[in-house]
Amino acid sequence: MTQLQDRDLLSVQEVRNLVAKAKEAQKRLASMSQSKIDELVAAVAEAACRHAERLGRMAHEETGFGKPEDKALKNIFAAKSVYESIKDLRTVGIVREDAKNKMFEVAVPVGVVAGLIPSTNPTSTAIFKAMVALKAGNGIVFSPHPSAQGCILETIRVLSEALCAAGGPEGIFGCMTIVTLEGTDELMHSKDVALILATGGSGMVRAAYSSGTPAIGVGPGNTPAFIERSADIPQAVRRIISSKTFDYSTICASEQSVVAESCIEQVVRAEFEKQGGYFLPPEDAAKVARAIFTPSGGMNPRTVGKSPKFIAEKAGVSIPEGAKLLFADGMGVGKEYPFSHEKLCPVLAFYSADGWEKCCELCIELLAFEGAGHTLAIHSSNEEVIREFGLKKPVSRVVVNAGSSLGAVGATTNLIPSMTLGCGAVGHNATSDNVGPLHLLNIRRVAWGVREIEDLRPAKQASPSTLNGDQLDRLVERIVEELAARIK
């Protein structure tokens, strides 16, 4: 018991030291020019790319989630694609001038950021948050998920070395080595932490929002993928399979359900089977549900990011050799229908409904149950239907004719590249954006006066007693003319 308490105290003290060091380093960083900040960001991005494969392999080996080659690709995306997206942003000093309206805007770093990192995408999320915090002129202290602590620590070590070698201040990137709930709580409540950037489970995100420290947190995904009758069905199926099997579905925007119009249901089912999908018989589906969910309805961490073969073995069912995806008929939506939940593994629910309008309602029902504000995918060539989905769905991003996992993060679409996807007010988040450096800045606005207080007062109409002789004569003439016109 004493050892446990000592560990908690050591964790709290470590956090205090890391925050203090980051605060001092951030003061030095804040005095640097835009060109110097950009040089540091470029150095960090280059180091992340250089070590992407090794860090991806470490993440897979430590957590057991996903595929090492896909984790490496996510690391490259978090470094290279994010870098290309942010490299030309102005984040230091005057960032906007408006001569016409006599205003200018100044970027102000928030200070020290707390970065909470999940186990599903540990190294890529750490790379992403380090880069956007640095670009905005902030320090950042990471709280790693305990089951991914080793690979996250190594990622921060690599990035810190690159930063210091390029002339950046030591301590800008900090990472807890003694991870406890008490230490993370201290980080979120520290008076010297200006903002929490939280990615992870809904419980942790709620804790960030309730900490009293400003927070940007993201909610769970439960992405429906709608296949409309005008879609290129083989292409849609290929994209969904590629997306859902990428890193074995550890990206929160990955598809969780397929919703097809009834008129094409059999064609869609046949195409999935042709491309490697396997539809579970009802009795086997029930066994898989018990394997991938806990009795309370949460995801079983032992099956997160695992292959279909692994899941089938855990469930005690047989599947065809080489099956890429497991399907279960959705039946309904709600707690009593487990497959309507988010599933961070290559398992999809399958639904159908008559007409796109009813499919639209079904997608909304799925999102309202879980995943409101996150992402929806639609496969269609009917622009009118696509627009209707864009207008009606309670999500922050609609991915069209692309896999949702890499489409939502901006890898296969032109959305802003990000590993932190906001869900907006409907998802109880502070933003609906793909989060980037501009979310980690305050803007100071400098505005010149262009009106006097007297200019704001309503103009007073002159009274007859203040009129001169000529003005009075004209007023009398106008009154006489108006009276004559009325008499006629």
pLDDT digits (tens, 9 = 90+) for 154-181: 999 999 999 999 999 999 999 999 999 9
For residue 80, pLDDT over 90 is answered with: yes
- Is 445 within 8 Å of 409 (Cβ atoms)? no
pLDDT tens for 14-34 read 999 999 999 999 999 999 999
pLDDT of residue 475: 74
pLDDT of residue 488: 60
Lowest mean pLDDT among 115-124, 386-395, 473-482: 473-482
Please tell me whether the overall predicted TM-score, pTM, comes out greater than 0.75 for this model. Answer: yes
State the Cα–Cα distance between residues 241 and 216, nearest whole angstrom.
31
pLDDT tens for 452-463 read 998 888 876 656
Token representation of residue 126: 């750490």
The interaxial angle of helices 2-30 and 181-189, nearest 10 deg, is 30
Buried b (16+ CB within 10 A) or exposed e, 314-330: bbebebeeebbbbbbbb
Token representation of residue 221: 């995904």
pLDDT tens for 363-373 read 999 999 999 99
For residue 3, pLDDT over 90 is answered with: no
pLDDT confidence tier of residue 1, bands split at 50, 70 and 90: very low
Known catalytic residue at 423? no
Active-site pick, 252, 359, 360, 423: 252
pLDDT of residue 257: 97
Find the mean pLDDT for residues 381-398.
Answer: 93
State the Cα–Cα distance between residues 464 and 462, nearest whole angstrom.
7
Query: 42: closest CA among 145, 159, 191?
Result: 159
Find the mean pLDDT for residues 277-283.
Answer: 96
| 223-408 CATH pick, 3.40.309.10, 3.10.20.10, 3.30.70.1290, 3.20.20.450 | 3.40.309.10
pLDDT of residue 445: 97
Find the mean pLDDT for residues 44-48.
Answer: 98
CA distance to 14, 161, 359, 368, per residue, from 426 (Å): 36, 40, 21, 9
442 φ/ψ angles, rounded to the nearest 5 degrees: -105, 155
What integer best gives the mean pLDDT of the chain? 93
- All structural domains of the chain with their residue ranges: 2-218+436-444, 223-408
pLDDT of residue 209: 86
pLDDT tens for 177-194 read 999 999 999 999 999 999
pLDDT tens for 430-442 read 899 999 999 999 9
For residue 233, pLDDT over 70 is answered with: yes
pLDDT of residue 441: 96
| Domain 2-218+436-444 falls under CATH 3.40.605.10 | yes
pLDDT of residue 420: 93
The DSSP line for 98-156 is: ETTTTEEEEEEE--EEEEEE-SSSHHHHHHHHHHHHHHTT-EEEEEE-GGGHHHHHHHH
State the Cα–Cα distance between residues 90 and 152, nearest whole angstrom.
29
pLDDT of residue 430: 87
CB atoms within 10 A of CB 442: 13
For residue 301, pLDDT over 60 is answered with: yes
